[in-house]
């Protein structure tokens, strides 16, 4: 199945403020009791958005003016903690198509790239600008352009960063690595033969 080339994403944005937004907050563990990712839409940031009794905490995600947002504006070390891919899956399945933050935890970043959810970094000052424009004028359409490495609206353009390899993978439509990983079976077999596998061995 050919993958789509992810070059630019246009849509409204929504701020999800806070440093060290861990994956337990992105998706609480109780939603991980499942054997598929199919029912994760709507679970993202659940306890950040709702009280225990189900009433709203008035999180920006649930504000009518941010409805249908495609881009999350996050803080520093976004996605830290647990490796659960349920976190980016929940974000993607809730309609988000990109995350811009000050920095990302490695595993979250890799998980997101691998499912075609671009994560790009911007400076704290630029994120503050992005956030304040979005809060003042929530209808603002932002375009994240991975070719130009900018996120822009009619009134401003902000530089963003992403390591070269995942950026290439997204833009070339190669973000699901399994296709390439299957291309070198002989080389894998040769290497495997040189690397011992742990084997049960009774005591002598």
Partner 1 sequence: MGKTLYRKVWDAHTVGTLPDGRTQLFIATHYIHEVTSPQAFAMLRELGLPVLHPERTFATVDHIIPTDNQAEPLADPRAQTMLSALRQNCQANGIRLFDLPTGNQGIVHSIGPELGITQPGMTIVCGDSHTATHGAVGSIAMGIGTTQVRDVLATQTVAMSPLKVRNIRVEGTLRPGVTAKDVALHIIGKLGADGGLGYAYEFGGSAIESMEMDGRLTLCNLAIEGAARCGYINPDEKTFAYLQNRPYAPKGAEWDTAVARWKSFASDADAEYDDVVIIPAEEIEPTITWGISPDMNIGISGTVPSPEQARDAETRKAYTTALEYMKLTPGQPLKGMPVNVVFIGSCTNGRISDFRAVAPLLKGRKVAPGIKALAVPGSQMTAIECEQEGIADIFREAGFEWRLAGCSMCLAMNPDRLEGDQICASTSNRNFKGRQGSPTGRTLLMSPLMAAAAAVTGTVADPREVFDIQ
Report whether 103 contacts 76 (CB < 8 A).
yes
User: Is residue 39 packed enough to be buried (19+ CB in 10 Å), middle (13-18) or exposed (0-12)?
Assistant: exposed
The Cα 98–Cα 202 span in angstroms is: 51
Strands of 71-73's sheet, edge to edge? Answer: 13-15, 71-73, 98-101, 119-121
Q: Does 20 bind partner 1 (CB under 8 A)?
A: yes
Q: Does 149 bind partner 1 (CB under 8 A)?
A: no
Q: Does 132 bind partner 1 (CB under 8 A)?
A: no
* Residue with Cβ nearer partner 1 (147 or 178): 178
From 2-10, 72-80, 92-100, 153-161, span contacting partner 1 (CB under 8 A): 72-80
Q: How far is the CB of 68 from partner 1 (least distance, A)?
A: 26
For residues 44-66, one letter each, b for 16 or more C-beta atoms within 10 angstroms of the residue's C-beta and e for the rest, the string is bbbebbeeeeeeeeebbbeeeeb
Q: Contacting partner 1 (CB under 8 A), which of 9, 69, 100, 111? A: 111
Q: Contacting partner 1 (CB under 8 A), which of 3, 19, 148, 153? A: 19
From 66-74, 132-140, 149-157, 175-183, span contacting partner 1 (CB under 8 A): 175-183
Number of residues counted as binding partner 1 (CB under 8 A): 70
Q: Does 165 bind partner 1 (CB under 8 A)?
A: yes
Task: Give the CA dihedral 50, 48, 44, 110, nearest 10 degrees.
Answer: -170
Angle at CA of residue 83, ends 184 and 182, nearest 5°: 10
Comparing C-alpha atoms, which of 158, 157, 167 is closest to residue 124?
Answer: 158
* Residue with Cβ nearer partner 1 (12 or 109): 109
Using CB under 8 A, list all residues that contact partner 1.
Answer: 17-20, 22, 24-25, 28-30, 32-37, 47, 51-52, 75-77, 80-86, 88, 102-107, 110-111, 114-115, 124, 163-166, 168-169, 172, 174, 176-178, 180-182, 184, 187-188, 191-192, 195-204
């Amino acid at each position: 199945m050919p993958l789509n080339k992810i070059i630019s994403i246009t849509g409204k944005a929504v701020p999800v403020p806070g440093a060290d937004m861990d994956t337990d907050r992105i998706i609480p563990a109780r939603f991980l009791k499942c054997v598929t990712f199919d029912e994760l839409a709507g679970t993202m940031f659940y306890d950040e958005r709702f009280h225990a009794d189900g009433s709203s905490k008035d999180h920006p995600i649930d504000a009518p003016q941010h409805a249908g947002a495609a881009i999350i504006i996050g803080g520093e070390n976004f996605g830290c903690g647990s490796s659960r891919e349920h976190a980016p899956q929940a974000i993607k399945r809730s309609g988000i198509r990109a995350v811009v933050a000050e920095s990302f935890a490695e595993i979250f970043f890799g998980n997101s790239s691998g499912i075609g959810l671009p994560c790009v970094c911007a400076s704290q000052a630029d994120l503050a600008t992005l956030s304040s424009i979005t809060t003042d004028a929530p209808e603002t359409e932002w375009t994240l352009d991975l070719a130009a490495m900018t996120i822009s609206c009619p009134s401003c353009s902000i530089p963003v960063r992403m390591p070269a390899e995942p950026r290439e993978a997204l833009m070339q439509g190669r973000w699901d690595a399994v296709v390439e990983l299957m291309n070198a079976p002989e080389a894998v077999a040769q290497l495997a033969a040189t690397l011992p596998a742990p084997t049960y061995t009774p005591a002598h």
